[in-house]
Amino acid sequence: MYNKSQAAITEWYKLNKRMLPWRQTKSAYHIWLSEVILQQTRVQQGLPYYNKFIKAFPKVEDLAQATESDVLLLWQGLGYYSRARNMHFTAKIIVEKYKGIFPNTYEEIKNLKGVGEYTAAAIASFAFDLPYPAIDGNVMRVISRIFGVEEDIMLSHTKKVITDIASEMMHAKDAALFNQSMMEFGALQCKAKNPNCNICPLLDICFAYHNNKVKELPLKINKTKVKNRYFNYLIIKGAHDKLFIQKREQKDIWQNLYQFPLIESSIPLSETALLDEIKNQMQCKTSINLRFRSLEIKHKLSHQLLHIHFNIIQCKGFLIKNNWELIRITDWDAFPFPEIINKNKSFILENL
């Protein structure tokens, strides 16, 4: 059954694969960039970013020599910014430790910052033809459905079962083709929602189809609780069309990106409570005028839900914090901001 499945999926891939640039190269650097960009990201969204990074940093040395701010600015809007920081750090390691030559063993690749088992297997097979099965969400779904793996895929034991099945299916000499085929099959054919079962080449042997469990598999028991956070951004206009911003330097979401001065609370703040917090934190010597407050904007991250208000305030003689900077409004785009702020740029400027 394993050989039949592997052959059918491989043949399907040859007829249906998407022509993607990272599939046309054996460059470990380019493949690594694509894999980092595509973590938690759809191909359609990641492709423009891949092209931008290859153009800006054609060699790993170029990425290593860039500033973190340049890297984050190019990454802006893609989310999960720790990926960009880890990628930049790793580029420096490759240049310093490996003399600019990408390591070519699975273990060395896996030891790079920001590279886990899946990414290491993908790079090892695609760039160096090493026989390691790359187990991403698509592959887990395909194997769970075809072979009837009915345990929680978040458990390490289940992942091992799936990895063992993939290893049995894989032909050592065709590791890259096998991994690409399995991932593409899951992305386009055996999709999470509305899979194309009626034209599936494995319909006759698929456990999930014959047991009416296509919607149930793979089994994933979500135990993650969503944390609510309440962000009040303070839009403070200085002289000569300048705005105060600050850099998020703490180890948290959006680390090293820029934002407006922020008051975060554990509960929603009314306008009165917000003004009291501003007075306490900014030590304003004159009255504070809250000129405009946006409606609440909800921004969902993987395990957090942000409740955001943009607040345009007038206050003279206030305490300027050490990490505040004054920038010209016209220089906004030169700083890497979280996408939720950039999305509301026009709205903010219209209400200044």
Q: For 21-42, what is each residue's pLDDT tens digit?
A: 999 999 999 999 999 999 989 9
Q: Which fold has domain 227-350?
A: Nucleoside Triphosphate Pyrophosphohydrolase (3.90.79)
Q: 2-210 has which CATH code? A: 1.10.340.30
Cα of 295 vs its chain's centroid, Å: 27
Q: What is the rounded end-to-end Cα distance, in angstroms, of the chain?
A: 66
Positive/negative CA dihedral, 28, 29, 32, 33: negative
Indicate which residue of 35, 107, 296, 325 is catalytic: 35
* E strand or H helix that includes residue 35: helix 28-38
235-257: average pLDDT: 91
2-29: average pLDDT: 93
Q: Distance (Å, rounded) from C-alpha 318 to C-alpha 286?
A: 8
Of 120-124, 202-206, 236-240, 345-349, minimum mean pLDDT range: 236-240
| Residues 178/10, Cβ–Cβ less than 8 Å | yes
Q: For 248-288, what is each residue's pLDDT tens digit?
A: 999 999 999 999 999 999 999 999 999 999 888 887 767 78
Catalytic (active site) residue 216: no
302-318: average pLDDT: 90
What percent of the chain has pLDDT above 70? 99
177-195: average pLDDT: 96
Of 120-134, 149-163, 310-324, minimum mean pLDDT range: 310-324
161-190: average pLDDT: 94
Q: Distance (Å, rounded) from C-alpha 352 to C-alpha 349?
A: 5
The count of other CB atoms within 10 Å of the CB of residue 216 is 12
Q: What is the CA radius of gyration of the chain?
A: 24
The answer to whether residue 1 scores a pLDDT higher than 70 is no
- Residue 239: the pLDDT is 78
Distance (Å) of CA 267 to CA 230, 289, 290:
6, 22, 20
120-126: average pLDDT: 97
The answer to whether residue 146 scores a pLDDT higher than 90 is yes
Instruction: Please report which confidence band the pLDDT of residue 222 belongs to, taking 50, 70 and 90 as the band edges.
Output: confident
Of 48-62, 79-93, 115-129, 228-242, minimum mean pLDDT range: 228-242
User: Are the folds of 2-210 and 227-350 the same?
Assistant: no
Q: Distance (Å, rounded) from C-alpha 91 to C-alpha 83?
A: 12
- Residue 268: the pLDDT is 96
Q: Is 129 helix (H, G, I), strand (E, B) or coil?
A: coil
- Residue 280: the pLDDT is 84
Tokens (6 digits) for 327? 């920038």
The C-alpha angle with vertex 194 and arms to 190 and 199, in degrees rounded to 5, equals 55
Mean pLDDT of the chain: 93
Instruction: Please report which confidence band the pLDDT of residue 352 belongs to, taking 50, 70 and 90 as the band edges.
Output: confident
- Provide the residue ranges of all domains of the chain, joining segments of one domain with +: 2-210, 227-350
Q: For 70-92, what is each residue's pLDDT tens digit?
A: 999 999 999 899 999 999 999 99
Instruction: Please report which confidence band the pLDDT of residue 310 belongs to, taking 50, 70 and 90 as the band edges.
Output: very high
206-220: average pLDDT: 95
| Residues 14/34, Cβ–Cβ less than 8 Å | no
